[in-house]
């Protein structure tokens, strides 16, 4: 009888433990959404501790991936070489065009007295994780201690926008990818300048919404960040329109999000209200070095012409 | 120090409790599962390897994996891998508790029955997460990636089940010597 009573008490205690743990795990869903500073700090602390362990565990997977992609490249070596030569030639033509346009742009900026508002310093970081789930698209960056990465900083690579920082710890930072359902990026259509909002939906394609009624997106049109809201800098490529139907505009990201390894975090300098230093502008927004064929407009000024 | 100390029989019992070691192993398995997303094929959704192991341990070896260990491990992995939606811990706990209640005397059951129970647990897990996601974000889930995750996990379950059972038998055999 006493044994039965003890067993019953044990069963009741186990059941109550399970109920308490169920309640705690359920409340975690809401606590995560509340964005309380202490919780955020705890989460970044956990990420800081686990990130090096994860990096070790992921090493064999990364090695396998490198080996597999190496074998794929070897198999298509010849075709790849021909493709790259053609692409190189095309890019050279684009480079010349870009240099001319940049030079023209700089001169027009000088004439108009237009100045960019934000000085950005790129910080290089390594991506150590990938989304791997249908319910959230974020990735973790491993960064050096003493960095100046903060929430809201844009994360880019050579191809365009990857996402923005949502958590920044001592040695790690979390990026919300543009493909996440919570990512809503203010953008402009590059050729028509119509503003809109690019929305992620946890897929490899993005949706372009909130376009004005008279706006007409074209297939292949480039989509750039508009800088509205002041979080992300303007002019970063987000993607290209791949489906342009009324009420259904789909954008393919410029960046191959499944192949991210190193990224640049565009950190804002201390004190955004400080006056813009023209030398900084020159450094970040100045044109590429002109070629020596002398065809560029670089350097020609009224004073020189008068001489 | 005498020479006899070198010839003493080694201690086969760990200082750490079995439950702690199981929890640590599951934590590393969870990290490995997350690392699989670095492969292009699993970029959008990785197979739920750790859930398959939780299920087998929860049903066959409940002493090795108490609910508290399960919650601690899943919360840590949930925080590390997804910073926004922490619904995974709750969904895992609910699905495992429901299915464990339904699977009595697992040792006497055919493997096909266990597999079916695992599929039910997986449907509950992904169903809860999908419904939570759709309510929370007012948006449809990408069913293609969820179905891919479901299919690959179901196909891999027999292998994981065999591995866990073999490992448990081996550990029992060693500890009884």
Q: Does B31 touch chain A (CB under 8 A)?
A: yes
Q: Which residues pair with A244 in a beta bridge?
A: A249
Give the 3-state secondary structure of residue B141: coil
CA distances for B152 relative to A136, B140, B166, angstroms:
19, 22, 22
pTM (2 d.p.): 0.77
ipTM field: 0.81
A81-139 per-position pLDDT tens digit: 888 899 999 999 898 888 888 888 878 877 887 665 557 888 889 888 887 777 888 88
Whether residue A72 is found in the same domain as residue A213 = no
- Cβ contacts of A180 on chain B, cutoff 8 Å: 84
Of B140 and B106, which is predicted with more confidence? B140
Whether residue A104 is found in the same domain as residue A153 = no
DSSP notation for A141-170: EE--TT----TT-EEEETTEEEEEEEEE-S
Give me the pLDDT at residue B100, please.
83
A213-227 per-position pLDDT tens digit: 888 888 888 999 988
Give me the pLDDT at residue B177, please.
66
Whether residue A132 is found in the same domain as residue A248 = yes
| Contact in structure between A239 and A224 (CB atoms under 8 Å) | no
- What Rg do the C-alpha atoms of chain B give, in angstroms? 19
Q: Which of A14, A134, A176, A255 to mutate to test the interface with B (most CBs of B within 10 A)?
A: A134
Give the pair of three-digit tokens for residue A63.
């090695």
pLDDT band for position A257 (cuts 50, 70, 90): confident
Q: Does A73 touch chain B (CB under 8 A)?
A: no
- Cβ contacts of B97 on chain A, cutoff 8 Å: 18, 22
pLDDT band for position B160 (cuts 50, 70, 90): very high
Whether residue A125 is found in the same domain as residue A263 = yes
Angle, helix B49-60 to helix B67-81, in steps of 10 degrees = 170
C-alpha distance from B165 to closest chain A C-alpha (Å) = 23
Whether residue A166 is found in the same domain as residue A293 = yes
Q: Does B24 touch chain A (CB under 8 A)?
A: no
Where does a domain end: A65, A82, A112? A112
pLDDT band for position A164 (cuts 50, 70, 90): very high
Q: How many Cα atoms sit within 13 Å of B67 on the Cβ side?
A: 22
* Lowest-confidence pick of A51-60, A101-110, A178-187, B66-75: A101-110
Whether residue A127 is found in the same domain as residue A108 = no
Nearest residue of chain B to residue A182 (CA atoms): B137
Where does a domain end: A112, A133, A152? A112
Domain extent at residue A48: 1-112
- Cβ contacts of A54 on chain B, cutoff 8 Å: 31, 34-35, 80
pLDDT band for position B120 (cuts 50, 70, 90): very high
Where does a domain end: A112, A146, A172? A112
B60-109 per-position pLDDT tens digit: 888 888 888 999 999 999 888 875 667 888 899 999 988 888 877 777 78
Looking at the structure of chain A, the number of domains it has is 2
Whether residue A162 is found in the same domain as residue A107 = no
């Amino acid at each position: 009888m006493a044994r039965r009573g003890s067993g019953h008490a044990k069963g009741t205690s186990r059941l109550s433990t399970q109920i308490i743990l169920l309640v705690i795990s359920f409340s975690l869903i809401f606590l995560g959404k509340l964005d309380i500073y202490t919780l955020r700090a705890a989460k970044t602390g956990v990420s800081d501790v686990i990130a090096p362990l994860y990096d070790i565990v992921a090493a064999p997977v990364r090695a396998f991936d490198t080996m597999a992609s190496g074998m794929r490249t070897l198999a298509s070596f010849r075709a790849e070489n021909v493709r790259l030569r053609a692409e190189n030639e095309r890019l050279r033509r684009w480079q010349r065009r870009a240099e001319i346009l940049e030079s023209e742009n700089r001169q027009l900026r000088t004439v108009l007295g237009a100045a960019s508002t934000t000085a950005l310093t790129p910080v290089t970081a390594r991506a150590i994780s990938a989304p791997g789930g249908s319910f959230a698209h974020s990735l973790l960056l491993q960064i050096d201690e003493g960095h100046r990465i903060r929430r809201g900083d844009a994360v880019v690579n050579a191809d365009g926008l990857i996402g923005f920082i949502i958590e920044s710890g001592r040695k790690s930072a979390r990026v919300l990818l543009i493909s996440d359902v919570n990512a809503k990026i203010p953008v402009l259509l590059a050729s028509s300048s119509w503003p809109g909002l690019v929305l992620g939906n946890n897929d490899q394609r993005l949706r372009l919404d909130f376009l004005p009624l008279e706006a007409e997106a074209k297939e292949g049109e480039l989509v750039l960040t508009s800088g509205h809201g002041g979080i992300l800098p303007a002019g970063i490529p987000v993607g290209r329109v791949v489906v342009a139907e009324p009420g259904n505009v789909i954008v393919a990201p410029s960046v191959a999000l499944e192949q991210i390894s190193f990224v640049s975090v565009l950190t804002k300098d201390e004190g955004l209200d400080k006056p813009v230093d023209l030398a900084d502008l020159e450094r970040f927004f100045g044109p590429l070095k002109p070629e020596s064929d002398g065809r560029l407009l670089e350097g020609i000024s009224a004073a020189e012409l008068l001489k | 120090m005498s020479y006899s100390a070198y010839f003493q029989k080694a201690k086969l019992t760990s200082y750490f409790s079995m439950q702690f070691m199981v929890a640590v192993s599951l934590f590393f398995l969870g990290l490995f599962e997350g690392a699989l997303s670095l492969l292009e094929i699993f970029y959008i959704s990785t197979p739920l390897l750790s859930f398959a192991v939780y299920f087998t341990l929860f049903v066959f070896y409940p002493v090795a994996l108490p609910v508290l260990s399960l919650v601690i491990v899943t919360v840590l992995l949930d925080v590390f891998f997804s910073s926004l939606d922490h619904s995974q811990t709750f969904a895992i706990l609910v699905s495992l508790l429901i299915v464990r209640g339904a699977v009595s005397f697992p040792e006497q059951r055919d493997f096909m029955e266990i597999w079916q129970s695992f599929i039910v647990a997986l449907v509950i897990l992904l169903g809860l997460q999908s419904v939570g996601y759709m309510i929370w974000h007012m948006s449809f889930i990408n069913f293609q990636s969820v179905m891919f995750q479901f299919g690959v996990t179901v196909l891999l379950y027999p292998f994981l089940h065999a591995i866990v059972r073999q490992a448990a038998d081996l550990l029992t055999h060693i500890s009884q010597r």
